[in-house]
A and B are shown apart, each in its own frame.
Chain A
Amino acid sequence: MTLSNFVAAFLTLCIFSFLYKENPFYRFGEHLLVGVSMGYAIPLIYDTVFIPYVYRPIFLDHNYIIIIPAVLGFLYVFRYSKNLSWLARYPIVFGMGIVGMSVPMSMHSQVLVQMKTAMLPLDNINTILIFIGTVTILLYFFFSKAHKGAYGKVTNIGVWFMMIGFGASFGYTVMARISLLIGRIQFLLGDFLGLIK
């Protein structure tokens, strides 16, 4: 058993201890995770973002115009100032400008393309079912007409499609979590205790 395995196993058990109830070991692990995660991000972002996009252009390539966005970025810090917090709006709004692009792009990729692929080609029972499901679900979310009579029956088909879809998504999510759990159990019983090969 190496020190690395011992530390990883101890911290794994600290987190698992929450299954019993909240306790000092879990809280220690939880706070440690927050600190280490944030501490991990700082040098990573410094090396992969700050150096190539701020330091190198200004100090090595002498592209002094980059000083302007660097100063804009620094204005984020004023978010915590009582009198100057309005200055932090400038780096935020510079990023927010991209929403202009999301208007035509979302309309194209998430609406028009999806509608087209839902309708064409309707050449077998599965594509017809997908089409019926998509239309009935969309009708279910149309609240300007009461869901009564024939319309209510149509929207009810949409509910059934949604329930199957939610069930499938749920099953998929559970299996993803279970595979993570199996990974941790394999680590504890295999790498740490050596009980399984």
Chain B
Amino acid sequence: MKRQIPLMIVMILGFLFVIHTFVPHKISADFYDWWQEWAKAISPFAVVLGVISLGMVHGTKISRKAPNWQYSLVTVLALVFTAASGFIWGRQEGTPYMWLFKNVQMPMSATMFSLLAFYIASAAYKAFRARSAEATVLLIAAIIVMLGQVPLGMQISRWIPDISTWILNVPNMAAKRAIMIGVGLGMVATSLKILLGIERTYLGGGD
């Protein structure tokens, strides 16, 4: 029963949502509003789960003095201090909470993502070394699109920005559209598997 009742709830709610999509009745609209209201009330508690998970991972490392436990202490202290600053001084401009966001979180996130510029370049070098005609096409398309985004492309040839736009709007559009159709069919299949109780991994392990 610990698995069957949740499965029944998914099936009943799922089929009610299928009906809701096709039936524009007030009862159907009220059902969707009710679900949204409840889902919004449930959602903030998922953060508690995240905090417990982070606390368990790093708390264990600290208590056991595992190798490099000092870094876990940094994570826990940063979490506690940032959250406390938000609750104590508020979230408006000029508070320690916003200072931490602007001078700690934002610069580090941007730098972390910018690091990928280096790794993507070295990965591209390894992957693209034009071993086949297809790889060459991929490489040329990437180079033209990159040059099309910067003034250098215009200086090399006035055609480069136009070709870049054409690549993005025509062959790239065809590829994106076909992939989107494939993803759409995949989503329908997966959703049906969940609705019919074939796909149950979201229930987790145990009885």
Contacts and interface: CB of A to CB of B under 8 A. Distances in A.
Name B's interface SS.
helix
Name A's interface SS.
helix
B184 A177 contact: no
Given A73-B41, A130-B177, A177-B116, A32 B108 contact: yes
Interface string B164-186: 00111111111111111111110
Interface in A120-179: 126, 129-135, 137-138, 141, 158-175, 177-178
A164 B172 contact: yes
B58 to A, nearest CB: 9
Given A110-B184, A166-B138, A45 B111 contact: no
A102 B187 contact: yes
Interface residues of B, number: 123
Contacts of B38: 66, 68-69, 72, 94
Contacts of A5: 103
A162 B175 CA distance: 5
Contacts of B81: 39
Interface string A35-52: 111111111111101100
A15 B175 contact: no
Contacts of B50: 38, 41
A187 B79 contact: no
B74 to A, nearest CB: 5
Given A36-B79, A167-B138, A173 B120 contact: yes
Interface string B113-149: 1111110110010000000001101111111111001
A193 to B, nearest CB: 15
A111 interface: yes
A90 B42 CA distance: 10
A195 interface: no
Given A31-B72, A89-B6, A96-B202, A38 B195 contact: no
Interface of A: 4-5, 7-9, 11-12, 14-16, 18-19, 27-47, 49-50, 53-54, 57, 66, 68-70, 72-74, 76-77, 79-80, 85-86, 88-107, 109-111, 114-115, 117-118, 126, 129-135, 137-138, 141, 158-175, 177-178, 180-181, 183-184, 187
Given A33-B105, A129-B171, 15 more contacts: A39-B86, A41-B47, A46-B86, A57-B41, A70-B45, A80-B52, A89-B2, A98-B17, A103-B188, A110-B180, A110-B187, A137-B178, A138-B181, A161-B174, A165-B174
Interface of B: 2-3, 6-7, 9-10, 12-18, 20-22, 35, 37-54, 56, 68, 71-72, 74-87, 91, 97, 99-105, 107-118, 120-121, 124, 134-135, 137-146, 149-150, 166-185, 187-188, 190-192, 194-195, 202-204, 206-207
